[in-house]
Amino acid sequence: MKILSVNAGSSSLKFTMIELPEEKVMISGTFEKIGLDDSFYTIKYNGNKDKKEAKLESHTDAVKILLEELINYKVIKSYDEIDGVGHRIVHGGDKYTESVIIDESVLKTVEELTPLAPLHNPANLVGIRSFMEVLPDTKMVAVFDTAFHQTMPKEEYLYALPYDWYKNYGVRRYGFHGTSHRYIATKMNELLGEDRKIISCHIGNGASICAIKDGKSIATSMGFTPIAGVIMGTRCGDIDVGLLPYVMSQTKEKFDEVMNDLNKKSGVLGLTGVSSDMRDVEEGYNNKDERCITALNMYANKVAEYISMYNTKLEGADAIVFTAGVGENSDLMRSLIIKRLSFMGIKLDEEKNSQRGIDGEISSDDSTIKVYVIPTDEELMIAKDTYNLINE
Ligand code: AMP
């Protein structure tokens, strides 16, 4: 079966077509700057990457071109060869604990959840509606970033705030990156067997840590929004909210301006003033730039703190897994993090750790907790959910 896995943002649309059950990626691409004058798209096919300019006034334009390109690249002969479309949805609130077939009631609920994810859910909905317009008879599935974390116990997802805020307004920890953490849980299940205790570190531009027990999320570092937890590319992670009125009084910024600073100008970018990209900051670190050194140390401290905390919650983890852009590619960051845990007997095999493109165990034979690098694959997870649901 040919399944499209789709991730629609406010001005972008990413897709991957995957053949299932073979799990073979057939073609993928990204449409960018939708609605702007300089919109374009890139297609990856057979190891080649083609960049093309196109006037993309709306997501529907992007979807129409996407489908035409599938035929041009001879991936399909006609649209009815597309068996299903899986859509990434950022927020499922506490309504969705797993992926679902999209119908009018799902669309309505996702729309109602917009106040919880005002930037993401509307963009995801635009993506779904565009596909529905062009492929009205194709089955579509919604895969939620929050769903995997719905197994967290109440004591984990409540904040110590007035209880009415939770009851009346849904103020609680939701957690994100659920599809990626679920992928790691599934992979580790295959590698180590069932009923294991895993600490999954999804550290990319956005970053979150998740404690997984028996394949289920029991704690995660992101919260009501994706700003919480560890230090990220441009997001601050955990901070003292008491500083907000002070900053506003000093900078004369409005609340949404300060929120923009916390989301887009903080984290590694804010600390270094250099970049949000770990590669640039590592270059600064190697050149002894003091702010880059401090930033990387703070980043590693924070991830190590969460690993220690989750090791306690899990009463002893079986494995720590690194994934996403930084986790998969930065041997320096993995090494800085694990060094902070060496007092617990957690140790890397530095030779394995320094291998490029590693996929597997990187801990030393005598490490008390195994450490792995597992490349995440959210697109495959979305496609598999779609495949499973449309075959039910
Ligand atoms: P993601 O959000 O998972 O796509 O991760 C993107 C981030 O991964 C980039 O912003 C970089 O900070 C980081 N990254 C990618 N490649 C490398 C690399 N070779 N070394 C260090 N960091 C990397």
Question: What does the pLDDT average to over 2-6?
Answer: 98
Residue 169 lies in a domain: no
**Tokens at residue 149, please?**
């974390």
Instruction: Judge whether 183 lies within some domain.
Output: no
Which CATH number belongs to the domain containing residue 204 in this structure? 3.30.420.40
Specify if 157 maps to a domain.
Answer: no
Does 125 share its domain with 223?
A: no
User: Residue whose CA is closest, atom 19 of ligand 1?
Assistant: 329
Structure tokens at 155: 């004591």
Asked if residue 221 lies in contact with residue 177, where contact means CB atoms within 8 angstroms, the answer is: no
**Same-domain check for residues 85 and 200:** no
144, 176, 204: which is the final residue of a domain? 144
| Structural domain boundaries enclosing 197 | 192-378
Instruction: Tell me whether residue 53 is in a domain.
Output: yes
243 and 137 assigned to the same domain: no
Does one domain contain both 263 and 343? Answer: yes
Give residue 274's pLDDT.
Answer: 87
Q: Are residues 219 and 118 part of one domain?
A: no
Q: Which residues are catalytic?
A: 145
326 CA distance to ligand 1 centroid (A)? 4
Residues 293-329 have pLDDT tens digits of 999 999 999 999 999 999 999 999 999 999 999 999 9
Single residue among 114, 144, 174 that ends a domain in this structure? 144
The answer on pLDDT for 10 being more than 90 is no
Residue 119 has pLDDT above 90, yes or no: no
Task: Considering only CA atoms, give the Rg of the chain.
Answer: 21
SS3 387: helix
pLDDT the model gives residue 22: 97
- Strand 370-373 and strand 360-361: the pairing is antiparallel
Residue 186 phi, psi (nearest 5): -65, -45
Residue 96 is assigned to a structural domain of this protein: yes
Strand partners, 40: 32, 53
- Residue 194 has a pLDDT of 87
Shared domain for 133 and 223, answered yes or no, is no
In contact, 145 and 90? CB cutoff 8 Å: yes
Cross-strand partners of 7: 14
Residues 348 and 203 in one domain: yes
**Mutational test site, ligand 1, from 88, 181, 205, max ligand atoms within 8 Å of CB:** 205
Indicate if 213 and 120 belong to the same structural domain: no
Q: Do β-strands 2-8 and 82-89 pair in parallel, antiparallel, or remain unpaired? A: parallel
Domain end among 144, 174, 200: 144
Overall pTM > 0.75: yes
- Please indicate, yes or no, whether residues 197 and 343 belong to a single structural domain of this protein: yes
Question: What is the residue with the minimal CA distance to atom 10 of ligand 1?
Answer: 277
pLDDT band (50, 70, 90) for residue 382:
very high
282, with CB counted inside 10 A (0-12, 13-18, 19+), is: middle
Q: Which residue in 113, 87, 115 sits closest to 99, CA to CA? A: 87
Structure tokens at 304: 């190590």
Determine the residue of 183, 326, 332 to mutate for testing ligand 1's pocket, defined as the one with the most ligand atoms within 8 A of the Cβ atom.
Answer: 326
Q: Is 18 inside a domain boundary?
A: yes
Q: What angle do CA 174, 179, 184 make, to 5 degrees?
A: 115
Are residue 345 and residue 196 in the same domain, yes or no? yes
224 and 125 together in one domain: no
Report if residue 159 sits inside a domain.
Answer: no
- Please, which residues bridge with residue 143 across strands? 88
Q: What does the pLDDT look like over 11-64, one tens digit per residue?
A: 999 999 999 999 999 999 999 999 999 999 999 999 999 999 999 999 999 999
Centre of ligand 1 to C-alpha 291, Å, is 19
Instruction: Say whether both 122 and 241 belong to one domain.
Output: no
> Does the residue 135 lie in any domain?
yes
**What pairs with residue 42 in β-bridges?**
30, 51
> How many domains does one find in the chain?
2
Pick from 249, 283, 282, 253: nearest CA to 265:
253
